[in-house]
Amino acid sequence: MAFNFANFDKLSSAANTVVRKLWAYTNLSDTLATIIAADYFLDVYYYLSVGDEIFVYGSDGYGTYVVTAVSSTTVTVAALTSVPGGSITNNEIDAAAGIEFSKLETLASTQIIVGSAGGVPTARAVTGDVTIGNTGVTAIGANKVLSSMVSPLLLKYTTVAISAAEFNGMYAAPKLLLAAGGANTLQVLKQCQLVMTYVSANYAAGGVAAIQYDSTINGAGVIASTTIAAASFQAAATTTFTFNPGVVLLTGSTTINKGLYLSNITGAFTTGDSTFVAHLWYATIPTV
């Protein structure tokens, strides 16, 4: 049989440029294959537009089809296998839909979705201080947790390089190891390992060395550590010196908001060319 105009019904007017109109067509004398064959709807081509949807009922079943081409000489339709773009909004998705992950775009191994500067979900690799594996396990990278990241009440660690010139000159110009912590804070020395790398010339002269508060010359600051005799630094080999916390009274006016300096008393060291690295463990505590 041919197209039956009496069985062709308009269900809606144009809603937008994607789905133009909805139609229904029933002909229980024709199969679906016959109905959707090219030019079956040619008699009503002037009603149709590309993108129109037609609900078709035939003798052997039913289906939904979309108009793919239309002119005065030909009309073709195709099975609607997907929803036209723009026709589904958030309101059409049920809150309990439970959309499966398999429906999402693929994501590279170990990447995660983050909001971009423009608020767009974007695939990004996790970089910086932490990493993440494709099983969801995270890890902190080596040497990523620094003293500056933790509570000021916790034990902290820093290193300071000391040149031979600075060591020879620390009698008149004490070497800064740790800057002041700020108002109403006290830098508490826990331990310092002073590692000397021997070069070629021994140190001579000098005086008892210690770590002190503030930069008072000639080792006259308030002592923050134990002391080490000058002769100990005159060795002709790479050596490590240990400064432990001092036991003198720490008067507030001379220690609060003061840095820690390395100095020595009685006279400057001379002739030596060895270098040092001070490994300092300390805590910054409030005093009010």
CA distances from 42 to 76, 127, 185 (A): 9, 60, 90
Sign of CA dihedral 163, 167, 168, 173: positive
The answer as to whether 59 is a domain residue is yes
* Closest-CA residue to 59 (of 82, 42, 35): 35
Q: Does the pLDDT at position 110 exceed 60?
A: yes
The answer as to whether 106 is a domain residue is no
Strand ranges, E, within 97-237: 111-115, 121-125, 130-132, 138-140, 156-162, 175-178, 185-197, 204-205, 209-213, 222-223
pLDDT winner (highest mean) among 82-91, 118-127, 201-210, 249-258: 201-210
Both 166 and 267 in one domain: the answer is: yes
pLDDT of amino acid 288: 87
CATH number, domain at 179? 2.60.120
Residue 135 in 3-state DSSP? coil
Both 262 and 173 in one domain: the answer is: yes
Global model pTM greater than 0.85: no
Q: What is the mean pLDDT of residues 197-218?
A: 97
Helices (H), 141-244: 164-169
Both 185 and 65 in one domain: the answer is: no
Mean pLDDT of the chain: 91
The answer as to whether 89 is a domain residue is no
Find tokens 């040149």 and name the residue.
163
The answer as to whether 180 is a domain residue is yes
Both 74 and 159 in one domain: the answer is: no
User: Which residue would you say has higher pLDDT here, 268 or 18?
Assistant: 268
Domain count, the chain: 2
Residue 90 corresponds to which tokens in the numbers above?
């958030």
Q: Which of 79, 112, 141 is the last residue of a domain?
A: 79
The answer as to whether 88 is a domain residue is no
Consecutive H or E run containing 57: strand 53-58
Q: Does the pLDDT at position 86 exceed 70?
A: no
Both 175 and 271 in one domain: the answer is: yes
Q: How confident is the model at residue 69 (pLDDT cuts 50, 70, 90)?
A: very high
Both 155 and 248 in one domain: the answer is: yes
pLDDT of amino acid 84: 58
Least confident of 56-65, 92-101, 235-244, 265-274: 92-101
The answer as to whether 168 is a domain residue is yes
The answer as to whether 100 is a domain residue is no
Both 67 and 165 in one domain: the answer is: no
- How many other CB atoms are found less than 10 A from the CB of residue 77? 23
Q: Does the pLDDT at position 17 exceed 80?
A: no
Residue 163 corresponds to which tokens in the numbers above?
């040149």
Both 247 and 161 in one domain: the answer is: yes
The answer as to whether 165 is a domain residue is yes
Find tokens 């790479």 and name the residue.
238
**Residues pairing with 269 in the sheet:** 205
Domain hosting 64: range is 5-79
Q: What is the mean pLDDT of residues 182-207?
A: 96
How far is it, in rounded angstroms, from Cα 285 to Cα 114? Answer: 38
Q: What is the mean pLDDT of residues 118-128?
A: 91
Q: What is the mean pLDDT of residues 167-184?
A: 97
Both 164 and 247 in one domain: the answer is: yes
Torsion angle (degrees, nearest 10) of CA 65, 71, 72, 78: -20
Q: Which of 26, 58, 79 is the last residue of a domain?
A: 79
How far is it, in rounded angstroms, from Cα 118 to Cα 107? Answer: 20
Q: Which of 28, 62, 79 is the last residue of a domain?
A: 79
Both 67 and 154 in one domain: the answer is: no
Q: Does the pLDDT at position 80 exceed 90?
A: no
* Closest-CA residue to 54 (of 71, 74, 34, 77): 77
pLDDT of amino acid 250: 82
